[in-house]
Structure 1
Amino acid sequence: MTRRQAREYVLQSLFQYEFTKSISDRKEIQEGLANKSPSDDILEFIEDLIGGVIKNLKEIDEIIQSVSKHWELQRIASVDRNIIRFAVYELLYRADIPAAVTINEAVDIAKKYSTLESFSFINGILDTIAHENAPENAKGGKRQKESTK
């Protein structure tokens, strides 16, 4: 399983979380990935993204709202909103992943799972957030990986 596939699974999990408000634990994640056999590193990556987004959801949503001019967060399609959420988490809390990689992955996933127009909207939102939260501008050094456990 690749990190791209992991991000796709994270998208599905966050989409489900919006409706159930239930967080998948490690056992549920492993069951959901039973036929994909993720490595321990990929499983940890998935858990970090899901847990990190949920733990920091209020802050992530505030950041998205602040740059999505003329769009209320709830008006953004759920798929797009959740792609943006996990990408913002990566931009803010995963210094080990270059911003360009995060943005490219989010755009490619949007091309696969959303509308033809969504990827450019997502690209614009994430590019703005990446520039506003570049490591030298990040408040409190957020680009350092924080534990979600």
Structure 2
Amino acid sequence: MNRHAAREKAFQILFQLDMNDKEPEQAMKDHLESLEVDPFIKTLVEGVAANKQTMDSVITASLENWTIERIASVERTVLRIAVYEIRWQEDVPVNVSINEAVELANLYGDEKSGKFVNGVLAKVTT
């Protein structure tokens, strides 16, 4: 599985975790058809779940006239993944994390999601 596909699966799992009270390991097993979990999916899901408060603080510091609670679940989940990659995944270039986040936001959010995510991540990276 390539990283783009793995990132999308991780997004779907993390979105479910945001809505339901499950452990990351169980959510991955429930969501993925195969018994073998891709290492990149596991890294993203476990990393985001373990560092959610830190990432939410980073995101909150980059918001203007918004709170983390007001952000729709799609955008909040996408931002958490991107911030995790930017802060903790040294093998992923920052511009790749931002581009992938914008793509996910455009795919799963509304027509303004990509621009919103891009704007927040621009502030996170400055």
When the two structures are superposed, what TM-score results if normalisation uses the length of structure 2?
0.90
**Aligned-partner residue type, residue 86 of structure 1:** I
**Aligned residue for 1:78?**
73
Q: Say yes or no: does 1:9 pair with 2:9.
A: yes
Q: How many residues align?
A: 126
How far 1:127 moved relative to its partner? 1.5
Which runs of 4 or more aligned residues in structure 1 lie more than 2 Å from their structure 2 counterparts after TM superposition? 27-35
Whole-angstrom CA distance in 2 between matches of 1:21 and 1:31: 13
Larger Rg: 1
**Aligned-partner residue type, residue 9 of structure 1:** K
Whole-angstrom CA distance in 1 between matches of 2:32 and 2:55: 26
User: Over residues 65-101 of structure 1, what are the superposed CA-to-partner deviations in whole Å (9 max), with x where a residue is unaligned?
Assistant: 1111111111111000000001000000001100000
- For residue 54 of structure 1, the aligned residue among 38, 49, 71 is 49
* Change over 3 Å in CA distance of 1:128–1:29 after alignment to 2: same
**Aligned-partner residue type, residue 98 of structure 2:** I
**Aligned residue for 1:121?**
116
How far 1:30 moved relative to its partner? 5.0
> Cα RMSD (Å) of the superposition?
1.8
How far 1:32 moved relative to its partner? 2.8
How far 1:21 moved relative to its partner? 2.5
How far 1:23 moved relative to its partner? 2.0
User: Over residues 36-87 of structure 1, what are the superposed CA-to-partner deviations in whole Å (9 max), with x where a residue is unaligned?
Assistant: x97x7xx111111111111111110011011111111111110000000010
SS of residue matched to 1:12: helix
Whole-angstrom CA distance in 1 between matches of 2:50 and 2:27: 18
Percent identity of the aligned residues?
Answer: 36
* Change over 3 Å in CA distance of 1:101–1:13 after alignment to 2: same
**Aligned residue for 2:64?**
69
When the two structures are superposed, what TM-score results if normalisation uses the length of structure 1?
0.77
Whole-angstrom CA distance in 2 between matches of 1:74 and 1:83: 14
User: Over residues 110-131 of structure 1, what are the superposed CA-to-partner deviations in whole Å (9 max), with x where a residue is unaligned?
Assistant: 1111111110110011121122
In structure 2, list runs of 5 or more residues that go unmatched. none
**Aligned-partner residue type, residue 94 of structure 1:** Q
